[in-house]
Amino acid sequence: MTKVIVTVLFCLLFGMAALMAGEKNVFDFTLNTIDGQPAPLATYKGKVVMLVNVASRCGYTPQYSALESIYEKYKDRGFVIIGIPANNFGAQEPGTNQEIKTFCQSKYSVTFPMMSKVSVKGGDKTPLYQFLTDKAASPKTGGEIQWNFTKFLVGPDGQIITRFEPAVAPDSPEVAAAIETALASLKH
């Protein structure tokens, strides 16, 4: 009898934990700004957010221009881009946070929020990217990050809407359509 009760309690607790984990969203995470200050992503609740793992020495680095352009185009409507430097692919982001910040501002006039460098792949993957790449939790958008400039579009509720791989330009028609659709859901 005691064994049955313990088993039932374990199942209930496990089930509750699974339910609670299923409710997790992007806004439950905190990163650090490129200047090292805590930056709870909950600050962006109610906005449409694009998370992008970026690098300064990548063939896709010129996408910074398109990212800044779409940020400028949509920011007044509740859209924000968050650049997240990572050095996981070909050592293409070797600099310090200060060097990355200077590069982004001087070369691409980046004004969207930039975070401190993190790992988006491997054993030291930051918790946000563990969540973003979880294939079981997000079958449509999960899966390992393949390269720099992978883009996740997140709705105002913190749920992942879609994912764009690095070769998809930030200002492509498919990205613009996804942003427009997400922004249309905002209550103004």
Band of residue 186 on the pLDDT scale cut at 50, 70, 90: confident
pLDDT confidence bin for 188, thresholds 50/70/90: low
CA atoms of 93 and 104, how far apart (whole Å): 12
CA atoms of 141 and 58, how far apart (whole Å)? 23
Instruction: Report yes or no: 17 and 46 within 8 Å, Cβ to Cβ.
Output: no
The per-residue pLDDT for 137 is 86
Catalogue the active-site residues.
58
State mean pLDDT over 15-43. 82
90 closest CA partner among 128, 59, 116: 59
Tens of pLDDT, residues 118-148: 999 999 999 999 999 999 988 899 999 999 9
Q: Residues 100-135, buried b or exposed e (16+ Cβ, 10 A)?
A: bbebbeeebebebbbbbbbebbeeebbebbebbbbe
Q: pLDDT higher for 22 or 45?
A: 45
Q: Are strands 48-54 and 79-85 parallel, antiparallel or unpaired?
A: parallel
Rg (CA), the chain: 18
Average pLDDT across the chain, whole number: 90
Q: Where are the domains of the chain?
A: 25-184
> What is the pLDDT at residue 167?
98
186 torsion bin: left (phi>0), alpha (psi -120 to 50), beta (else): beta
pLDDT tens string 80-115:
999 999 999 999 999 999 999 999 999 999 999 999
> Interior CA angle at 137 toward 135 and 139, to 5°?
45
Q: Which residues contact 67 (CB under 8 A, 6 or more apart)?
A: 50, 52, 81, 83, 110, 112, 170
- What pLDDT is attached to residue 2? 58
Over the stretch 54-89, which tens digit does the pLDDT of each residue have?
999 999 999 999 999 999 999 999 999 999 999 999
In the predicted model, is pLDDT for residue 162 greater than 90? yes
Topology at the third CATH level for domain 25-184: Glutaredoxin (3.40.30)
Q: Please compute, for residue 19, the number of CA atoms within 13 A of its CA located in the half-sphere on the CB side.
A: 6
Please give the Cα distance from 105 to 26 (Å, whole number). Answer: 26
